[in-house]
Amino acid sequence: MRSWLLRLTLLLLGAIAALLGWALWDLYRPIVLPAQGTEVPIRLGASVDASIQELHNMGLLPSPILFRLLWQVDGRPPLHAGLYVFRGRVSMAEVLETLRAGRSQPLDFTIVPGMTLAQVLQQLQHAPYLGPKGIPTAGQLPRLLGPMAAARENAEGCLLPQSYRYVPGEAPVMLLRQAAQAMQQTLQKLWMQRAPKLPLNSPYEALILASIVQREGAPLAQQKRIAAVFINRLRIGMPLQSDPTVIYALGKAYDGHLQPAQMQVQSPYNTYLHSGLPPGPIAMPSQQALEAVLHPAAGDDLYFIAKGNEYHYSAGFAEHQRQIQRYLQAGIKNG
């Protein structure tokens, strides 16, 4: 009897040892991946089971049950959200270590200086792996983006152009809130450090003018002087006469070429028809454009004209007209 029990015990121990050996072999057995690698999004807020299923679907976990057991034995570490790219040969044990360490590829959403709100929302539609809640409409944004946007009819200009990092499954509105908070903080800081005696009554007015300077398309080296032209016009009550404000007023009616009749478009954003600032920003200005408006160049220029990256400034209309005649044949932009 004892002999049978001993044999049975040895058989059971052998089976257990074989099973453990197989499990260890399977956990550490390298899986050969496609030449281009395998990309797996582990989404924010996803359950462990959902994450394991995603990895299994992408061919990284031949045995999801065994992988889950390893995860449990390892102390149930968090499987960090992120975009993971696996290449070459990788084992299930290495997959777990990669996820617990959070060694994911960065995902960035970039707002380019001069983008309009409509362009930002359109670009957001193409940002990969965002959450399923959808992108807010322009009309919904003011109440979602904090105090500066909430006080306005729309959120134009309220997002700071730069890159914002996110993880798969993150809600689009969270990216927009990051950008709105960054603009709020940047604008308040720069406003507190502004030059004295500017004809601007609030940070929001600085934001409006900075958006115009941004959309004028001048290189960074020219922005302070372009800003000075508009600041000087504001001081004497002269219309800003900025083409980008007319283009913004036209919206989809603008086809890339301003026609003489379009310069008369009836809109508070038309700075040829109305003195002072338009009612809101016309784009997302960069930090550099904000700095240009709050620290404009010295001088009494009221006009500028540009040929490529070559800019000429004038304090009087007669000189401005001479500059126009000089460069008219070369195809110029004037303000």
Supply the DSSP string of 128-158, one letter for each residue: TT--TT-PPPTTTGGGTS-HHHHTSSS-TT-
Q: What single-letter amino acid sits at 33?
A: L
Residue that finishes a domain, picked among 101, 124, 154: 101
pLDDT value at residue 20: 47
| Residues across the chain | 335
What is the domain range of residue 166? Answer: 107-188
Distance of CA 187 to the CA centre of its chain: 17
> Do 220 and 182 belong together in one domain?
no
Domain presence at residue 152: yes
What is the rounded CA–CA span in Å between residue 110 and residue 1?
A: 76
For a pLDDT cut of 90, what percent of the chain falls above it?
A: 63
Beta strand spans in 169-321 (E)? 303-307, 310-314
Residue that finishes a domain, picked among 160, 188, 216: 188
> Do 111 and 95 belong together in one domain?
no
Quickly tell me which residue has 């976990």 as its tokens.
Answer: 61
What is the rounded CA–CA span in Å between residue 167 and residue 177?
A: 15
> Do 256 and 314 belong together in one domain?
yes
> Do 56 and 159 belong together in one domain?
no
> Do 314 and 210 belong together in one domain?
yes
Domain presence at residue 3: no
- pLDDT tier, 25 (very low <50, low <70, confident <90, very high otherwise): very low
Q: Phi then psi for 56, rounded to 5 degrees?
A: -65, -45
Token pair recorded at residue 216: 């004028």
Question: For the chain, how many helices (H) and strands (E)?
Answer: 12, 9
Distance of CA 110 to the CA centre of its chain: 3
- According to DSSP, the residues that pair with 334 across neighbouring strands are 305
Q: Is the pLDDT of residue 49 over 90?
A: yes
Q: Phi then psi for 116, rounded to 5 degrees?
A: -90, 165
Domain presence at residue 122: yes
Token pair recorded at residue 281: 């920003």
> Do 71 and 123 belong together in one domain?
no
> Do 324 and 233 belong together in one domain?
yes
What is the overall mean pLDDT for the chain?
88
Distance of CA 173 to the CA centre of its chain: 11
Domain presence at residue 238: yes
- According to DSSP, the residues that pair with 163 across neighbouring strands are 110
Supply the DSSP string of 16-85, one letter for each residue.
HHHHHHHHHHHHHSPEEPPTT-EEEEE-TT--HHHHHHHHHHTTS-S-HHHHHHHHHHTT------EEEE
pLDDT value at residue 297: 96
Q: Which of 126, 132, 296 is nearest to 198 (CA)?
A: 296
> Do 111 and 91 belong together in one domain?
no
Domain presence at residue 222: yes
- According to DSSP, the residues that pair with 39 across neighbouring strands are 85
Domain presence at residue 13: no
pLDDT value at residue 334: 56
Q: Is the pLDDT of residue 248 over 70?
A: yes
What is the rounded CA–CA span in Å between residue 35 and residue 21?
A: 30
> Do 78 and 126 belong together in one domain?
no
Number of domains in the chain: 3
> With contact defined as beta carbons under 8 Å apart, do 165 and 152 qualify?
no
User: Would you put residue 218 in left (φ > 0), alpha (ψ -120 to 50) or beta?
Assistant: beta
Residue 31: CATH number of its domain = 3.30.1490.480
> Do 305 and 226 belong together in one domain?
yes
Residue that finishes a domain, picked among 136, 159, 188: 188
Q: Is the pLDDT of residue 253 over 60?
A: yes
Domain presence at residue 6: no
What is the rounded CA–CA span in Å between residue 294 and residue 300?
A: 16
Q: Is the pLDDT of residue 19 over 70?
A: no
Strands 303-307 and 333-334, how do they pair?
antiparallel
> Do 137 and 78 belong together in one domain?
no
Domain presence at residue 50: yes
Q: Lowest mean pLDDT: which of 2-16, 50-64, 196-210, 302-316?
A: 2-16
Q: Is the pLDDT of residue 7 over 60?
A: no
Strands 310-314 and 163-166, how do they pair?
unpaired
> With contact defined as beta carbons under 8 Å apart, do 283 and 214 qualify?
yes
| pTM of structure | 0.86
> Do 219 and 323 belong together in one domain?
yes
Mean of pLDDT values over 173-201: 96
